[in-house]
Amino acid sequence: MDYTEFGFIRMAAVAPEVALADPAANAGIHIGHIEALSAEGVCLALFPELSVSGYSCEDLFFNADLLRASRQALIGIAEACTDLTAVVGVPWRLNDGRLLNCAAVLADGRLVGLVPKIAHPNYGEFYDQRWFASGDGISLTGTDAPRIDARQLFEVAGVTVGIEICEDLWSPEPPGIRHCLAGADVILNLSASNELVAKADYRRTLVVGASARGISGYLYASAGPTESTKDVVFGGHLMAAENGVLLAENDRFELTGSRLIAEFDLDYLHRDRSQNSTFRGAVRPEGYVVSRASARHHPPLGAIQRAVDAHPFVPEDEAQFDARAREILSIQATGLARRMLAAGDGPLVIGLSGGLDSTLAYLVCLEALTLRDLPVSRLMPLTLPGPGTSARTLASARSLAGATGVALREIPIEAAVVQHLADLDHSEETDVVFENAQARERTQILFNFANKVGGIVVGTGDLSELALGWCTYNADHMASYNVNASVPKTMMAYLVRWYGSHRADSALKPVLAEVLDTPISPELIAPTNGDISQETESIIGPYELHDFFLYHFMRHGAGVRKIFALACAAFDGRHEPAVIQRWLRVFLARFFAQQFKRTTLPPGPKVGTVSLSPRGDWRMPDEATARAYLATVDALMET
C-alpha cells in the first residue's frame, strides 16, 4: 500500500543547532538533517529563518564575509538535496545594495528560487529594519538566482507550496492567504519567534487559524535555543496544522536540535476547497509564478505516521470532551426550546424505550424545559411495550421517568399489532412486516397523543442510524423535531455518561448506568428467556466502524480504498482487514439504498460538521447506485 495514492505527503520542520556567523558549520548541520529525513521518506524539509547564518547575527549581516559564506553554504546544502527539497533561511544582498531576508528553495542539487520576507518587525525586542529591506514588490531574475520573488510558489513532488517568513504571518494581511488563493496547498513559515509567557499559545493560534482560512496545510519552523540569548530566548517551536486542526508540534527548548515530521492530506484539502463556495469564489491574486522545484515523485509511503483517530466524532482529551458534551447538549436543548416556543410551549411527547437514544433525547427534553423555565410535567413520555420488548428495557424506562419525577404513560401495543397483522392476513411473525408494524403503531400513537395534548413529538433516532437507514420509514424515522439527528452512535454513550457524571442526581445515576450497560437493539423480535434477542451490531456491524466510515466519507470526501486503508490503521489489533472490508460493504450498500429515508427527514439541530439533513448538508438522488463502490470494496483484499 502506498499512502501517497490517497493524497498524503510527508514533510518535516527542523530547528537545528546553530553556529552563529558560521555558515559552513551550519551547512554541515543542515546536511545531516537532510540525509536523515530523506531516509524517512520526507519530500520537503523546512528550516528556520536565516538558518544558514543564524538569525541573531545583528550587524554582522552587513559583513561581506558572512554574506559570501552564506551563499557558498547554499551550494553545499543544495548538493545534498538529491532526494528531497530543502527550504532554508539565508541573507541575500542585491546588486542595488538592498539586503533581503530570504527563504531559499533547494532541490536536485541547485538553488531553485528565493522568496524575500515582506514584513519586518521593528518594535519591542525586534530591530529587523536596521538590516533588511522589505521584499514586497521585488521580482527579479538573474544569473546567481533563478528568481527572487515574494509571489512565487513551488511545485514539490506533486504539491504546491507557498512561503511566509515569520512576521509575515503576524501582519494584518498575511501573504499566505494570497498564496493559497493562487494555488498553494501548503504554506511554509521560516521563523525566528522568541519565547515569552503565553506567546507559544498565541503563535499556535495564528498557525492553526492560517491553515483554516487558507483551507491548507501549514508547516512552521522557528529558530532554536542555540541562537543568541543576549536579550531573548528562542525555543525552536515546530508545528504542523491542517485546515484548522493542529496535527503535531514538538517539545520546545531542545539544545541539541529538534525535528518534526508531519503528513498532510491533499485530497482532503482539495475536496474542502471545492466544496467551500466562499473560498471558491474569492478573487485570485495576479502576478504569481510557479517554479518547479523537483520533477521527482513523492517517495512511496508504506505507512503514515500521523495518528488516525478510531473515533473521530469523540475527542480523546477529557477536558475537550467535557466542553464538547456541554456544547452539544446546549445546541440540542436550545433547538428544542425554540421549537417549543413556536408551538406555543405545548407538551413534549416522546417514546421512551429504555434504550440509549431515547434516553439521551429524554435528557435533552429536561434541559429544554429548564431553558424555557417550564415544569417537568410538560414532558409526557410514553412507553409502548410490544412483542419484542424485554423486561430490562421496560424497567429502565419506568426507572428513568421515576428518577426524574415525570409521569410515564404505558400503552401496550401487542394487541393492536396482532389485530393489524390479522387485517393484513399476515402469518409470518418475524419478517419485516411484523417488525415494521410495531414501529408504525408506536409512531401512530405518539403523533395522535401529541394531537390530543397539543404537543410535539420529539424524535430519538441518531445520525448513525440515519446513515444506515436503520429505521422504519414513516415510523421511528419521523418526528416533529429530532434532537439526535446529527449525533452519531459513538457519541451517544459518551453524552449519557457525561450527563450521569455532571448533571444527574443520586437517583438518576444508576438508571443511566443501566441504560449504558444495555445492548443496542430495536427490540422487534420476541425476547429469549426474557433477554434481548436482537442485537443491532450483530446484524449490521459495529457502530464504531460505521461512524468511522461515515466521517471519512462525508467530512473528507474519501474514496473507498482510502477509507479502508485508514480504518485498517485506526483499528489495527481490534478489527481484522477482512472484518473491516465486510462492514464497509454493508455501510456503502445501506447508505446508498436508504437515501430515500433521508430525503424526507424531519428537522433537527446540526451539532457537528457531519449532517445528513436534506435541507442543509447532504443532497443525493434516491436512485444513485452503489455498484461501482461495492466493486471497489470487493477488490480490496485481492493480491
Q: Which three cell numbers stand for residue 482?
A: 429530532
pLDDT on residue 532: 53
Residue 59 sits in a domain whose CATH number is 3.60.110.10
Asked if 170 and 251 sit in the same domain, the reply is: yes
Residue 496 sits in a domain whose CATH number is 3.40.50.620
- Structural domain that includes position 163: 3-294
Asked if 230 and 363 sit in the same domain, the reply is: no
pLDDT on residue 513: 94
Question: Does residue 203 lie within any of the structural domains?
Answer: yes
Q: Is residue 120 within 8 Å of residue 128, measured between CB atoms? A: yes
Asked if 14 and 71 sit in the same domain, the reply is: yes
- In SS3 terms, 258-271 reads as EEEEEEEEHHHHHH
Question: Does residue 551 lie within any of the structural domains?
Answer: no
Q: Is residue 360 within 8 Å of residue 496, measured between CB atoms? A: yes
- In SS3 terms, 271-282 reads as HHHHHCHHHHHC
Question: Does residue 553 lie within any of the structural domains?
Answer: no
Asked if 267 and 333 sit in the same domain, the reply is: no
Asked if 155 and 213 sit in the same domain, the reply is: yes
Phi, psi of 195 (to 5 degrees): -100, 130
Q: Is residue 88 within 8 Å of residue 112, measured between CB atoms? A: no
- In SS3 terms, 151-191 reads as CEEEEECCEEEEEEECHHHHCCCCHHHHHHHCCCCEEEEEE
Asked if 211 and 273 sit in the same domain, the reply is: yes
Mind listing the pLDDT tens digit for each residue in 398-450? 999 999 999 999 999 999 988 998 898 887 677 888 888 889 999 999 999 99
- pTM, to two decimals: 0.92
List the catalytic residues.
49, 117, 166
pLDDT on residue 294: 77
Question: Does residue 571 lie within any of the structural domains?
Answer: no
485 alpha-carbon distance from chain centroid = 20
Asked if 83 and 232 sit in the same domain, the reply is: yes
Asked if 287 and 328 sit in the same domain, the reply is: no
Question: Does residue 353 lie within any of the structural domains?
Answer: yes
| 69 has pLDDT over 60 | yes
Asked if 262 and 371 sit in the same domain, the reply is: no
pLDDT on residue 528: 62
In the β-sheet with 456-459, what is the strand arrangement from edge to edge? 409-410, 379-383, 348-351, 456-459, 481-482
Q: What is the number of domains present in the chain?
A: 2
Asked if 275 and 341 sit in the same domain, the reply is: no
Mind listing the pLDDT tens digit for each residue in 522-581? 554 555 665 654 567 878 899 999 999 999 999 999 999 999 999 999 999 999 999 999
Asked if 286 and 332 sit in the same domain, the reply is: no
Asked if 42 and 100 sit in the same domain, the reply is: yes
Question: Which position has the higher pLDDT, 423 or 26?
Answer: 26
CA dist 127 → 59, 130, 133, 203, 594 (Å)? 11, 6, 12, 20, 64
- Percent of the chain exceeding pLDDT 70 equals 96
| 268 has pLDDT over 50 | yes
Q: Which of 628, 627, 621, 613 is nearest to 596 (CA)?
A: 621
Q: Which of 244, 278, 294 is the last residue of a domain?
A: 294
- Average pLDDT value for residue range 238-242: 98
Q: What are the counts of helices (DSSP H) followed by strands (DSSP E) for the chain?
A: 21, 20
Question: Does residue 593 lie within any of the structural domains?
Answer: no
Question: Does residue 457 lie within any of the structural domains?
Answer: yes
Question: Does residue 171 lie within any of the structural domains?
Answer: yes
pLDDT on residue 521: 60
Q: Which three cell numbers stand for residue 303?
A: 505507512
CA atoms of 385 and 134, how far apart (whole Å): 76
Which residue's entry shows cell 552587513?
Answer: 62
